[in-house]
A and B are shown apart, each in its own frame.
Chain A
Amino acid sequence: MSGSTTTVFGMQTWPRERVLGLAPDRASVVAAVELAGTRTWLGVGADSRGVWGSCAGGGRLYETVVDLGSPPAYTCSCPSRKVPCKHALALLLQWSDGLIPAGDPPPFATAWLEARATRKVADGPATTGRQGSELVDPAAAAKRAAARADRVAAGLDELDQWLCDQIRGGIAGLDRAGYAHFDTMAARMVDAQAPGVAGMLRIIPAEFATAGWPSRVLEQLGALHLLIQAHRRLDQLPADLAATVRARVGYSVSKSDVLALPGVIDHWFAIGIVDTAEYRLDTRRVWLYGAATGRWAVIMSFAPPGGPLDDTVLAGYLLHAQLHFYPGSGQFRALIGDRTSATARSTMPPAESIADVRARFAQLIAADPWASRMPAVISANPIPCPGKWRMRCATGECCDIIDLSDEPWPLLARSCGEPIQAFGEWTTRGFRPLSVLGTTATEPFSTSVVTRAA
């Protein structure tokens, strides 16, 4: 319920949890919730651009306006230095609860919203547009691409030699060498403009923490070896696989090039979201499922640590849009192109058994041998086991539940020992649940899968 979008007076509002997520601290949450429940608001209203209202407090009337753009912006005549202040949050909470009627903005809101709109126009569209790349000299671009390819090839040759040296000398002491040993080589790969390879190197030392690491580390080194071999034969590979290899190595593809590819129009339901911190970068993955095409997609956004991640599409949203997929076999990553209002109800993907999911993962590995995760809805029940949790199918097959910040008690609440339909990321280590599909009006779609302090 809390993750879905609601329509109020013909406007789509944000879920309450999204509003509370904007609060700068917990004190602001408490103050805003209290303020939202009072009758101290006057002249509240909203349109497609913003929400506004005046709040009586301390003998004064504070004028508050929220720009609902992405990212949202706030203004308030109160003396608070917090952004957003409790008034802006309280206003958004009321809007989220459907308590703000549609209307025309008063002069103070009109002035501020129009000033922001003017600035946006002056700043121009995001610099990822097609026009920018069209201005580039094609000959110079080709020359730069060739130079980069040479640089990557030279870097991968160096890595190949390094890998062979590890195997010749034996990997027995690598756990003692720790992160620094791999970070040094990863830095060389960054210099060689192969950031994808650098990322594969950096995650290897994490394996040393648990028993059986020699087998897993050897597999990871083997995956790097395979990538080097594939890169050397790029010209001989099918176009899709070549694109996958280039993506895994870390060749960048401009957004404008992706948006220029044919799009897939569908009603896309945002079925799960996961935020991770990966080596100096916060990453958000929003998984989408297409109702008509049955196709999966993932929208990724990145930010420096602590920076705001894109929140224009969150779990529970339904959007009618054209998605443009990045090139490559087994590719889920896409960009959102043209959007229109959603007109259909969300369609949930069919649930699979764990064995079926694994079979589908095998197909993905065949298309992209370096793939590490895949979206899946499994029909299984969560079982607390000593030291871990597992998902168990009716047939008895099970998999570990992984990468949760806390214990998945909400999953057990939904299950009560019977199978539920859980969406998540299937990985080589297990299943990372991200949401539970709805069954009835009172047991709706939910992204609450772990115990969180209220």
Chain B
Amino acid sequence: MWEDVVATGLIGTDRRALPHELPQGWGAELDQDLDPARAVLTLAARHRAANRAGGRLPSCAPGAVAPPERQPTAGWAAHEILVRLLSPPQVELLNLWLIAAAEHGQGVSAAYWTPLAMVAARTTELDRMMLVRVLGGRGVWFVEQNPQWARLAKSFRSDAKDEVGQQSEVPEADASEHAVRANPEMIMRIPPPLSSRLTRAVLEIIASGRLQQRGVRYAAAVGARLPLEHYELLRSIAQQSANGEVPLTAAGLRSVREALLALERTLWLRIEMHSAFSGEPIKVERLEISQW
């Protein structure tokens, strides 16, 4: 019936008449003397209303279902920090968040699976092993559903095999303070936790200004490795720099200050994250490095 009306509308009432017999209800109250064009428009309005209000809803087969999740989801405070790190994405700091979550055996809320997967698909700098642990079974299932993340999903499986022995570690027993002072990068290969002796050594290296332009990056990397309880050691080093105990040019002083700020920022973020994941209050007072 409606197809007949559409056919008439397409060809035009000047060339095609409406069907004489309209189904019951359709032609109700249609004036027999009504202009055929107006009759078509009236029927179109009725069909529109009927189509919008009724009609058959389509049906479809159920989709795939994710496996159940076993690990608990991190709390609100931890996700507040994650929001800060994702907007815009700061990959090195995101890695710290993933490590902290994994260490506490907590997963990331599904609300953040998409942005994390997008970052991971864009850069290999995001720690995929940690991401897999934090996403959990459901999160990994989710990544596997998106064909655009197929390479990422594949890497989740292959990275698990390649994890072992990427970089040889230096036992702390072999890494003397003297050796670290000679080769500051060695600190990155010493397995945690670092001793206070080595922490003090790297802080002095940073405060000496000898790393120059590399200082900020090095300090941020050190901040990701120092034990949280060594935060107080930073206070004394910062104080020494503020007092000018280390002779430096203005440019040198500036680069040292930026490096210490980067280290403090990273270490403080880890303290915040530890508190957020564990629920323990922060017991140290934050340094005011900017006030020297």
Contacts and interface: CB of A to CB of B under 8 A. Distances in A.
B40 A398 contact: no
A126 interface: no
A443 B111 contact: yes
Please classify how large the interface on chain B is, using the bins under 10, 10 to 19, 20 to 34, 35 or more.
35 or more
Contacts of B145: 384, 412
Interface in B56-88: 57-60, 62-66, 73-76, 79-80, 83-84, 86-88
Given A33-B88, A164-B37, A448 B111 contact: yes
Interface in B29-51: 35-38, 40-49, 51
Contacts of B37: 163-165, 167-168
B239 interface: no
Interface in A154-210: 163-165, 167-172
Nearest to B68: A416
B14 A218 contact: no
Contacts of A452: 115
A365 B115 contact: no
B204 to A, nearest CB: 22
Find the residue from B35, B47, B59, B265 having the highest chain A CB count within 10 A: B59
B271 interface: no
A168 B14 contact: yes
A428 B52 CA distance: 6
A260 interface: no
A362 B48 contact: no
Contact of A17 (B48, B60, B87): B87
Contacts of A418: 65
A167 B12 contact: yes
Given A170-B10, A214-B9, A365-B52, A396 B59 contact: yes
A117 interface: no
Find the residue from B37, B44, B60, B86 having the highest chain A CB count within 10 A: B44
Contacts of B141: 416
Contact of B9 (A167, A365, A413): A167
Given A358-B57, A399-B58, A454-B88, A225 B52 contact: no
B114 A448 contact: yes
Given A396-B59, A454-B119, A39 B290 contact: yes
A268 interface: no
A56 B75 contact: no
A327 to B, nearest CB: 22
A20 B89 CA distance: 13
Contacts of B45: 219, 222-223, 225-226, 369
Contacts of A444: 111
Contacts of A214: 6, 9-10
A276 to B, nearest CB: 20
B290 A222 contact: no
A306 to B, nearest CB: 23
Nearest to A26: B88
A355 B110 contact: no
B275 to A, nearest CB: 15
A407 B13 CA distance: 44
A1 B74 CA distance: 14
A1 B76 contact: yes
A441 interface: yes
A129 interface: no
A169 B80 CA distance: 63
Contact of A222 (B43, B66, B111): B43
A39 B261 contact: yes
Interface string A369-388: 10000000000011111000
Interface of A: 1-2, 16-17, 20, 26, 29-30, 33, 37-41, 56, 97, 163-165, 167-172, 214-215, 218-223, 225-226, 354-355, 358, 361-362, 365-366, 369, 381-385, 390, 392, 396-399, 407, 409-410, 412-414, 416-418, 428, 440-444, 446, 448, 451-454
23 contacts: A17-B87, A33-B90, A40-B290, A164-B35, A168-B36, A170-B9, A214-B9, A219-B48, A221-B41, A222-B48, A365-B53, A383-B62, A384-B63, A390-B60, A392-B62, A397-B58, A399-B57, A410-B113, A428-B51, A428-B52, A443-B111, A451-B114, A453-B118
Q: Report the 4 A-B pairs with minimum CB-CB distance, sorted nearest first.
A: A222-B44, A170-B12, A417-B65, A362-B53
Interface of B: 2, 5-6, 9-15, 35-38, 40-49, 51-54, 57-60, 62-66, 73-76, 79-80, 83-84, 86-90, 109-111, 113-115, 118-119, 138-139, 141-142, 145-146, 261, 264-265, 287-290
